[in-house]
Amino acid sequence: MQASGFYCGYQSGEAPVIVAGPGCLATVIFDGQCRAPAQAGLISTGLRLLEPAGIRETLVTTDACVSDYSDNLYWAQSDELLLLAVWVDEGGDESLERLTEQAYSRLLSTMQERGYSYMVRVWNYLADINAFEQQEERYRQFCVGRFDAFARHGVQDKDFPSACALGHSGGDLVIYLLASKHPPVHFENPQQVSAYHYPEEYGPRSPSFARASLLTLADGTDKLFVSGTASVVGHMTRHPGDVQGQLAVTLHNVDSLLAHVLASQSRGSEDRLAVEVLKIYLRHPADLAVVKAGVLQHFGDVPMVFVAADVCRSDLLLEIDGLWRLTR
């Protein structure tokens, strides 16, 4: 663990299982089947792990934290950070749109009650994200529910958190997030139309997220949460059906975003953004070797996991997100 207020790391299956405890906000597992976990502090995502085998992700703070879990809602908090996770069983009659709105309303209300007003980063995972229900793609229904909850709680464009939204192969909708008492600074990508300004052809309500969020912690560290980044330029998918082409555009998008953040935050020429962890989502596990080679060449040997997941636009083959640290 590093000497900073928040750290995200990957831990192999041979290491002792940290679930939750002093300093550990949560342990994220890539279990292939998303269910409200039996054990508090474990975040079941439904994502299927490709590599490295047996890896779990730990979300850790160097400060003491307290946590609790009831009625499918988990929370863990330190003095400055709140982690929330909620699981929603879609087995009933309610539409995904309504269930998403209710889940987000519950998360936003819990943030308010506990005094952590600002979303920093949100992870959204749901079954069959590209399937159609009631003539509408499920990802688009999800976007409507999220949009409505944000509107109802007064969350404006400028407060939209960094995020990712991916599909798993079955089970619950899970949404987990990191919230803060102090507002982060959110960024857009100069290469891309803001997702919240995407034209209507991508759905009746635009996706409500920022491209990256910079959070300054009490100990002075600056953490940059980079949203799921894919082969989208302007608002259009580039290189449909071509994984090499999509990877090149995705890496270029990440670089452009990082350069933009650095230019706006930098106080000196020595400032750097250093990658801490990466997550790579692949629609087709068969693309692992080619994507891994490209990612290693680009970022070097940094902690990374590869998971099988459906990207929210059906023509996107991969998405990359991660955490960076701004060093001054």
Integer distance in angstroms from the first to the last C-alpha of the chain? 20
Residue 180 is encoded by which pair of tokens? Answer: 């803060």
Interface residue list for ligand 3EB (CB under 6 A): 124, 163-165, 195, 207, 209, 227-228, 230, 232, 312
- Kindly tell me which of 63 and 319 has the beta carbon lying closer to ligand 3EB: 319
Main-chain phi, psi angles of 44, to 5 degrees? -80, 125
Q: How far is the CB of 124 from ligand 3EB (least distance, A)?
A: 6
Residue 76 is encoded by which pair of tokens? Answer: 């863990």
Q: How far is the CB of 326 from ligand 3EB (least distance, A)?
A: 21
Q: How far is the CB of 96 from ligand 3EB (least distance, A)?
A: 13
Q: Give Dmax over CA atoms of the chain in angstroms.
A: 57
Q: How far is the CB of 230 from ligand 3EB (least distance, A)?
A: 4
Residue 198 is encoded by which pair of tokens? Answer: 């995407």
- Kindly tell me which of 197 and 328 has the beta carbon lying closer to ligand 3EB: 197
Sign (positive/negative) of CA torsion 285, 290, 292, 294? negative
Residue 46 is encoded by which pair of tokens? Answer: 């439904």
Cβ-proximal residues to 310 (8 Å cutoff; 6+ apart), any chain = 128, 129, 130, 166, 167, 168, 283
- Kindly tell me which of 73 and 233 has the beta carbon lying closer to ligand 3EB: 233
Residue 260 is encoded by which pair of tokens? Answer: 């933009």
Main-chain phi, psi angles of 225, to 5 degrees? -90, 120
Half-sphere exposure of 184 (CA within 13 A, CB side): 30
- Kindly tell me which of 155 and 195 has the beta carbon lying closer to ligand 3EB: 195
- Kindly tell me which of 27 and 246 has the beta carbon lying closer to ligand 3EB: 246
Torsion of CA 164, 166, 168, 172, to 10 degrees: 60
- Kindly tell me which of 207 and 303 has the beta carbon lying closer to ligand 3EB: 207
Q: How far is the CB of 75 from ligand 3EB (least distance, A)?
A: 21
The strand pairing partners of 119, in sequence order, are: 179
Q: How far is the CB of 287 from ligand 3EB (least distance, A)?
A: 17
Q: How far is the CB of 171 from ligand 3EB (least distance, A)?
A: 19
Cβ-proximal residues to 99 (8 Å cutoff; 6+ apart), any chain = 88, 90, 145, 173
Q: Are 220 and 267 in contact (CB under 8 A)?
A: no
Q: How far is the CB of 302 from ligand 3EB (least distance, A)?
A: 20
Cα separation of 30 and 52, whole Å? 11
Q: Are 323 and 274 in contact (CB under 8 A)?
A: no
- Kindly tell me which of 20 and 85 has the beta carbon lying closer to ligand 3EB: 85
- Kindly tell me which of 30 and 142 has the beta carbon lying closer to ligand 3EB: 142
